[in-house]
Amino acid sequence: MPATMVAEHVSSAGLPEPSVSVEDLSNGERTVALYASDLPDGYRYKRGDEAHLVAWIVQGVNRVGLDRLRRIAALEAGYRRCRARKRATAEQKRAHAERFPNPTRDRRAGELAALVTLFVPVNDEARERGLRFLLDGPCPACHDTRQVWACWAVDVDADWYEEGYGPCSLCGGAA
């Protein structure tokens, strides 16, 4: 069962501060935190609202929890990777819709998370973590074998191609 972002919104007053700063969050993690926060659905950024956005990110981290936030962000990155290659399965689409039932809010949270990067940069560790992804279910391209059979170009100018197994381009291939 995939994790879901549907949660009852409660006041963040009295909650402990997270053990991570906004700088320590990848852009995907910031997106999940904004989605889970009390960010108004019709919110439009105005100059000087940086503190509000940071507070909503902190609230989302407190609400979801850092480990769960990172897992959901990795699953979201995997879904976006499959969707961009037109390989998203029905299972992945369903899991994404369960985690993010409001597509407009999901898109807006991503836009605002990117905006936050202008005034709160992402540190190197978080940037590296943001490149990692998880998939709901097996890889749709290789079914978790991490390799695919194809015709591989060795030298295009010489018209030299070889058939055989190579690394899967969707899930990262043999590591």
Mean pLDDT of 92-101: 94
- Given a cut of 70, whether residue 86 has pLDDT beyond it is yes
Pick the more confident residue, 111 or 17: 111
Mean pLDDT of 68-89: 93
Percent of the chain with pLDDT over 70: 87
Q: What is the pLDDT of residues 120-156, one digit of tens each?
A: 989 888 888 888 898 888 888 888 888 888 887 777 7
Q: What is the pLDDT of residues 23-64, one digit of tens each?
A: 899 999 999 999 999 999 888 988 988 899 999 999 999 999
List phi, psi (to 5°) of 38: -85, 20
Q: Give whichever of 3-17, 101-115, 120-134, 155-169 has the largest mean pLDDT.
A: 101-115
Specify the pTM. 0.77
Q: Which residues pair with 149 in a beta bridge?
A: 165
Q: What is the pLDDT of residue 69?
A: 94
Pick the more confident residue, 175 or 168: 168
Segment among 91-100, 132-141, 152-161 with least mean pLDDT: 152-161
d(CA 175, CA 173): 6
Q: What is the pLDDT of residue 12?
A: 45
d(CA 66, CA 48): 27
CA distances from 90 to 13, 32, 79, 82, 86 (A): 39, 22, 11, 11, 12
